[in-house]
Amino acid sequence: MKRIWAVLVVLSMLFACSNELNDSFTTPAIEKEIDRLLSQMTLEEKVGQMTQVDIRYIKKPEDVIKYGFGSILSGGGATPTPNTPEAWADLYDSLQTLALRTRLGIPIIYGIDAVHGHNNVKGAVIFPHNIGMGATRNPDLVKKACEITAVEVAATGIDWTFGPCVAVTRDERWGRTYESFGESPDLVSEMAKAEVEGFQGTSLDDPLSIVACAKHFIGDGGTTGGVDQGNTEVDEETLRKIHLPGYISAIKAGVGTIMASYSSWNGIKCHGNKYLITTLLKGELGFEGFVVSDWAAIDQLPGDYRSDIKTAINAGIDMVMVPDKYEEFISNLIDLVEKGDVSQSRIDDAVRRILRVKFKLGLFENPFSNRDLLPKIGCEEHRMIARQCVRESLVLLKNKNNILPLPKNLKRIHVSGKNADDIGNQCGGWTITWQGSSGNITDGTTILQGIKKAVSSETKVTYSFDGSGAEGADVAIAVLGERPYAEMKGDRQDLSLDSDDLRTLENLRKANVPTVVILITGRPLIITEQLDSMDALLVAWLPGTEGDGIADVLFGDFSPKGKLPVSWPRDMSQIPINIGDANYDPLFPYGFGLTY
């Protein structure tokens, strides 16, 4: 009897261990639910679940019922009018009401790019973009920022963010450098875990959780020349070493979705690469969520649209961000299955994965927005955390004669530069609209406003766009850098300061006033020739709405602690330049950052 008992104990330990090792994304109960639903679904209903449509392209509301879309998204700037949290919740609930009127009442999953806060929504708190979050080296803080973003997104009903971007940026000419946490796979992995856990919480069906999306699989940050949607020309060992760790980390953290990359690996479009999506991601790494395409990305595959669909679905894409011509997509995919060009088992696998995420999210039990959360959007508590993120993202590259921190009771401070008093510029792309824009686009505090609030009443703060009028000031603060852009619109072959900034610096040089330069930028800029004219240089990346965070460091309430997440090149000829390169000789190395 004792022997049998001992065997049973060993077997139960083995079983527990194997379960622990697998730590599956799903449960037997969910799979049973999916089996039941799948067995009732028609081919049309299954293909509908694989279809994601942008809100702007739904021809008539009835189409949500007729085609049974699995998902609806708001691409950058696809906002309700008025752009208020309540209007977002109304939009979401109206679409969900239609979805529940389909034959089987399968709820939609609504996706959006909440990539630095709920950034499409006016009044939401906007966090620093990922490159600044990478500079914090503080995964706990980054996780907290994503928990807050999840609350603000959930308040509007939306279930799914297309983030974190786990690109490893290897060439600063890339317009999406700022969406990456940096050039180091280790840093990206650490932040990927933090963001997935922050967005998804401990349980996806928690009302404060949303499902995350690790993107863009794979190698989007490694294209030759930093060309957006270009070609990543590396061997498999390098691809795995540099660009895969972020996905391994995200999958271990339980990420529910992964987005394929527009880019190619050695000439093969990722969206059509069965080895990458099915063999590597789903097979070797055991990813059990679903793979979504990027925006109309399958249209870039070689061949006509029908063959694009066949290639992408057979490669392992589970949901297609069409996002417009949904009738054509649906009719073609149905025909492909009926003609045997796409197997029924592939369709069932895709739909199983989609339903798995929907069940995990608790969408069937709680399909509507949680309006009790609406007052949380843009609240002071959230803004204080974002302000801490700003502070900790700042990287001090130069501080001659310890000019920083500045006293709060100077007689006069002259602030200048195109980015000193512009909330749109300090937020960057993916803010209210796809590309972002200059101007007073949302609620927040500009850098100039933060400086004015920080100094004593006897200090006079003056401002000019171009640095004129600085003569006689105790110190000049010039806020320079980039204007907003997103994706391929940000690809640049020359990262020098623009003419506005050079004019500002020249005017300040003539005024012969100690000068503190702050860079609002999505990436390192070429400032080698101007460095001598700067007494201090502080990189603020794209800090978002809480400009106070910069004043907190300028005046010494907090010391700068940020570290470069990317190498800072001396000139364009050094790019690409990354830590570990032979003859590595940047202006400032990866990990550099001064403090007080």
Please tell me which residue in 54, 171, 220, 294 is annotated as part of the active site: 294
Q: φ and ψ at 519, to 5 degrees? A: -100, 120
* Angle between helix 185-200 and 139-155 (nearest 10): 40
Give yes or no for residue 116 binding ligand GLC (CB under 6 A): no
Give yes or no for residue 201 binding ligand GLC (CB under 6 A): no
Taking CA 161 as the corner, what is the angle to CA 298 and CA 321, rounded to the nearest 5 degrees?
20
Give yes or no for residue 256 binding ligand GLC (CB under 6 A): no
Q: By CB under 6 A, what part of segment 307-366 binds ligand GLC?
A: none
Nearer to ligand GLC, 178 or 295 (CB): 295
Q: How far is the CB of 230 from ligand GLC (least distance, A)?
A: 13
Residue closest to 593 by CA, chosen among 575, 571, 573, 566: 566
Q: How far is the CB of 262 from ligand GLC (least distance, A)?
A: 6
**Which residue type sits at 283?**
G
Binding mask 46-75 for ligand GLC (x = CB under 6 A): -----------------------------x
Q: Is 535 a catalytic residue?
A: no
Nearer to ligand GLC, 75 or 484 (CB): 75
Return the CA Rg of the chain: 25
Nearer to ligand GLC, 102 or 293 (CB): 293
Binding mask 214-233 for ligand GLC (x = CB under 6 A): -x------------------
Contact 212, 246 (CB under 8 A): no
Nearer to ligand GLC, 222 or 549 (CB): 222
Options 160, 162, 287, 326; binder of ligand GLC; rule CB under 6 A: 162
Q: How far is the CB of 350 from ligand GLC (least distance, A)?
A: 19
Question: What's the CA gap between 463 and 121, in Å, rounded?
Answer: 30
541 has which bridge partners?
Answer: 520
254 class by beta-carbon count within 10 Å (0-12 exposed, 13-18 middle, 19+ buried): buried
Give yes or no for residue 429 binding ligand GLC (CB under 6 A): no
Q: What ranges in 417-466 are assigned the alpha helix state H?
A: 423-427, 447-454
Q: How far is the CB of 413 from ligand GLC (least distance, A)?
A: 39
Contacts 24+ apart (CB under 8 A), 140-145: 140/194, 141/385, 141/388, 141/389, 141/392, 142/191, 142/194, 142/195, 142/198, 142/389, 143/194, 143/195, 143/197, 143/198, 144/198, 144/385, 145/117, 145/198, 145/385, 145/386, 145/389
Give yes or no for residue 113 binding ligand GLC (CB under 6 A): yes
Options 68, 70, 76, 522; binder of ligand GLC; rule CB under 6 A: 76
Q: How far is the CB of 286 from ligand GLC (least distance, A)?
A: 24
**Which residue type sits at 579?**
I
Q: How far is the CB of 553 from ligand GLC (least distance, A)?
A: 31
Options 183, 288, 294, 422; binder of ligand GLC; rule CB under 6 A: 294
Residue closest to 311 by CA, chosen among 345, 350, 341, 347: 341
Using CB atoms, what's the residue nearest to ligand GLC? 162
Binding site for ligand GLC (CB under 6 A): 75-76, 113, 162, 215, 294-295, 487
* Residues labelled catalytic: 294
